[in-house]
Amino acid sequence: MKKIVVFASGSGTNAENIIKYFAKTEFGTVEAVFTNNQSAQVIERAKNYGVPSIIFSKEDLIEGIVLQKINEIQPDLIVLAGFLLKFPENIIAVYPNKIINIHPALLPKYGGKGMYGMYIHRAIVGNKEVETGITIHFVDENYDEGNIIFQKKVALSGDETPEEVAGKIHELEQKYFPEVIERLLEDKMS
């Protein structure tokens, strides 16, 4: 059985969706949820499925304590699902091409430091984009610059609010993120 660890900083809807998806398979399992936010809703969501949460500080991430905890699990894939801190190079070096992130826009547009959540959706609406979507990509040492694994587009009519754009993106994330994770893990098996 393939081992997955999920990193999240907030509500954890994507993390919960991944946990539920793999709980129904014999293929993989979410071993732990890592969060840098001790009041993040993802902790409760993980607990509801019996998945342990590991809460850490930014210093723990930088100083290698988080890497030690990851090494104890030996995951096949590390999934960033709404994780807001920059992922450290020491972990990327140990787990090359085993760390992925989901971004709520079509990279390379609307990527980089400070571009997350509603900031992106407001920018997309403000720029009157005719489409947006999700990007799943490998994590490297720069924000949102790793090799793209998967993109899915959704058309915009031009009169959506940022909240409506967020809703469309959330639907794409919920449908495609677990499937792409499973495909990646299958590829790593062969």
Distance CA 163, CA 138 (A): 27
Task: Specify the amino acid at residue 65.
Answer: I
- Confirm whether 103 is a catalytic residue: yes
User: What's the token pair of residue 166?
Assistant: 């967020």
Q: Is 29 helix (H, G, I), strand (E, B) or coil?
A: strand
The answer to the question of whether 13 is labelled as a binding residue is: yes
Q: Is 181 helix (H, G, I), strand (E, B) or coil?
A: helix
Closest CA to 66 of 50, 89, 43: 89
- Residue 55 β-bridge partners: 35
CA 19 to chain centre: 13
All residues at 6 or more sequence positions from 27 whose CB lies less than 8 Å from its CB, including other chains: 1, 2, 182, 185, 186
CA 150 to chain centre: 13
User: What's the token pair of residue 59?
Assistant: 């210093």
Annotated binding site: 12-14, 58, 101
Q: Could you give the residue numbers annotated as active site?
A: 103
